[in-house]
């Protein structure tokens, strides 16, 4: 292995933990499940991470970064604020249609694994703030009135659509959200 910290093992732990955290939830995923699935010794985990909370933080920081990149990549191929904003919802509808869909990982994180004053909650908050800021950017200037307000409203629809899709086990709330976003954009178009 390299002279510095062993990257592959650490990365494997993060990726294995990610799968379990997203599929089964953070509190439901014990250390034992992670090391068993990663086929790694207990001490290997604790040599790479100070604690479970440290591992959770690493997993979700990486996850947030990956999602930002994925969203931007999707938007690059599209033109205009309508297409780019609505693409967010379409992507979510695809994810929600897969079985085992558990809603938004960051909302879940905030609710089930993080007190409001914790670093994990702050991470969820930041990710959501980035989503809102991204929507704001896609809306551009001059096309819509009250762009900041509109971005906030569309972000609310996005959250509500994903949560609703999980609760109702259906992509219908996400479709409602997308259509509502469209209506709001049309109403705000100058």
Partner DNA sequence: TGATAGGTAGACCGGTATGTCTACTCTTAC
Partner DNA sequence: GTAAGAGTAGACATACCGGTCTACCTATCA
Would you tell me which residues interact with DNA (CB under 7 A)?
Answer: 1-6, 8-10, 29-33, 39-44, 46-48, 51-53
Task: Give the residue, chosen from 35, 86, 124, 135, that forms a contact with a copy of itself under the rule CB under 8 A.
Answer: 124
Size, binding site for a copy of itself by CB under 8 A: 41
- The backbone region for 39, taken as left when phi is positive above 0, alpha when psi lies in -120 to 50, beta otherwise, is left
Nearest alpha carbon to residue 84 among 137, 163, 160, 156: 137
Is 130 a residue that touches a copy of itself (CB under 8 A)? no
Q: Is 21 a residue that touches a copy of itself (CB under 8 A)? A: no
CB of 47 to DNA, least distance (A): 5
Residue 158 touches which of a copy of itself, DNA, none (CB < 5 to 8 A by kind)? Answer: a copy of itself
Using rule CB under 8 A, residue 11 touches a copy of itself: no
Return the structure tokens found at 7. Answer: 């990257």
Phi, psi (rounded to 5 degrees) for 173:
-60, -35
Backbone angles phi, psi at 117, to 5 degrees: -100, 15
154-158 contacts at long range (C-beta below 8 A, 24 or more positions apart): 154/85, 154/181, 154/184, 154/185, 155/128, 155/131, 157/89, 157/181, 157/184, 158/88, 158/89, 158/92, 158/131
Site string for a copy of itself, 132-171 (x = CB under 8 A): -----------------x--xx-xxxxxxx-xx-xxxx--
SS3 144: strand
**CA separation for the pair 25, 166 (Å, rounded):** 14
Q: 8, 73, 79, 116: which one contacts a copy of itself (CB under 8 A)?
A: 116
The residues binding a copy of itself (CB under 8 A) are 25, 27, 103, 106-108, 110-112, 116, 121, 124-125, 128-129, 149, 152-153, 155-161, 163-164, 166-169, 172-173, 176-177, 179-180, 183-184, 186-187
């Amino acid at each position: 292995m390299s002279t510095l910290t062993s990257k592959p093992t650490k990365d494997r732990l993060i990726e294995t933990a990610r799968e379990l955290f997203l599929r089964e939830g953070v509190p439901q995923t014990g250390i034992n499940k992670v090391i068993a699935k990663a086929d790694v010794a207990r001490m290997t985990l604790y040599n790479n991470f100070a604690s479970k909370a440290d591992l959770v933080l690493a997993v979700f920081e990486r996850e947030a970064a990956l999602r930002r990149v994925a969203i931007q990549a999707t938007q690059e191929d599209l033109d205009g604020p309508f297409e780019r904003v609505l693409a967010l919802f379409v992507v979510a509808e695809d994810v929600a249609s897969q079985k085992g869909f558990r809603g938004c990982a960051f909302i879940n994180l905030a609710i089930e694994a993080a007190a409001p004053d914790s670093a994990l909650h702050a991470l969820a908050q930041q990710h959501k703030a980035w989503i809102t800021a991204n929507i704001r950017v896609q809306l551009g200037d001059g096309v819509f009135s009250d762009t900041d307000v509109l971005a906030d409203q569309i972000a609310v629809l996005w959250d509500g659509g994903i949560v609703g899709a999980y609760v109702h086990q259906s992509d219908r709330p996400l479709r409602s959200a997308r259509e509502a976003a469209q209506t709001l954009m049309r109403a705000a178009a100058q």
